[in-house]
């Protein structure tokens, strides 16, 4: 017998499969219920509305990203490389259904959808905070606020770039992300000085090393 987590995952998978065959806009919960041979009330026990399926889809990306720190080698990386790998892992988790993901975001951005746009802003903030936690960022006060702002801009810009990236293995996105992290590190050093980060140490900037593409 499936547990609640398995059922939630199955509902999300069914909705995404339907979207792949039509579009996310066309997906209806009664179609999901019919596909799974369950009732709408069964779905309601796990999701109060269709928009919560989108949250669950992005939760998967968060979860995939947060598995990286479980690897001791990851924590030995410089902070810029940690941030890079975390964001890449987040995007990779979504890449199998990139087109549907793009449609989900498009639906959120439609005029008149303020009721889902405000929660979406909160979700962005939450994911950025998890990126910082996973990278073990420990800046405080004004430096923390500036770092969060810079990382949010980088994360959103990279996500937007990735959604339309047709390069092999999203290589263009990877290089775009590395460049933005390098720029953030340059700006951080201009403001706070050029203290060199030691690999694995919790120093202050958003990024601290130049990483060559295709490492």
- 142-167 tens-digit pLDDT: 999 999 999 999 999 999 999 999 99
In the chain, which segments carry CATH 1.10.357.10?
49-215
Confidence of residue 188 (pLDDT cuts 50, 70, 90): confident
Q: Return the pLDDT at 113.
A: 65
Q: In this predicted structure, what is the pLDDT of residue 162?
A: 98
Q: What percent of the chain stands above pLDDT 70?
A: 86
Q: CA quadruple 182, 186, 191, 197: dihedral positive or negative? A: positive
Tell me the average pLDDT across 10-38. 98
Residue 206 has pLDDT above 90, yes or no: no
Mean pLDDT for 161-188 is: 96
The overall average pLDDT reported for the chain is 88
Angle at 98 between CA 92 and CA 104, to 5 degrees: 120
Give the pLDDT confidence score for residue 211 in this predicted structure: 32
Torsion angle in degrees (nearest 10) through CA of 67, 126, 92, 98: 150
Residue 214 has pLDDT above 60, yes or no: no
Task: Please check the confidence at residue 204 and state whether its pLDDT lies above 60.
Answer: no
pTM of the model: 0.85
Report, as an integer, the average pLDDT of 66-80.
95
**CA pair distance 181, 83, nearest whole angstrom:** 8
Residue 58: pLDDT over 50 = yes
* Over residues 23-32, mean pLDDT: 98
pLDDT at 43 over 80: yes
Crossing angle between the packed helical segments 98-108 and 114-134, to the nearest 10 degrees = 130
State in words which class domain 49-215 has: mainly alpha
The H or E element that residue 135 is part of is none
- Tell me, what's the pLDDT at 112? 66
Mean pLDDT within 176-193: 91
Query: Is 1-48 a CATH 1.10.3110 domain?
Result: no
Q: Please tell me the predicted confidence (pLDDT) of residue 212.
A: 35
Confidence of residue 87 (pLDDT cuts 50, 70, 90): very high
Determine what percent of the chain is predicted with pLDDT higher than 90: 75
């Amino acid at each position: 017998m499936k547990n609640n987590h398995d059922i939630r995952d199955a509902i999300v998978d069914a909705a995404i499969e339907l979207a792949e065959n039509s579009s996310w806009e066309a997906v209806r919960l009664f179609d999901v219920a019919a596909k799974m041979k369950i009732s709408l009330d069964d779905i309601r026990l796990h999701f109060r509305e269709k928009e919560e399926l989108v949250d669950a889809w992005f939760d998967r990306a968060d979860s995939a990203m947060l598995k990286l720190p479980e690897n001791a080698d990851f924590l030995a990386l410089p902070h810029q490389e940690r941030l890079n790998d975390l964001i890449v892992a987040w995007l990779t988790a979504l890449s199998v259904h990139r087109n549907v993901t793009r449609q989900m975001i498009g639906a959120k951005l439609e005029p008149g959808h303020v009721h889902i746009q405000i929660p979406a802003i909160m979700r962005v903030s939450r994911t950025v905070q998890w990126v910082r936690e996973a990278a073990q960022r420990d800046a405080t006060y004004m430096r923390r606020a500036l770092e969060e702002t810079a990382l949010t801009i980088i994360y959103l810009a990279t996500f937007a770039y990735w959604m339309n990236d047709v390069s092999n293995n999203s290589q263009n996105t990877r290089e775009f992300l590395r460049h933005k992290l390098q720029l953030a590190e340059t700006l951080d050093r201009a403001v706070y000085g050029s203290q060199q980060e030691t690999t694995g140490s919790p120093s202050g900037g958003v990024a601290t090393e130049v990483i060559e593409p295709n490492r």
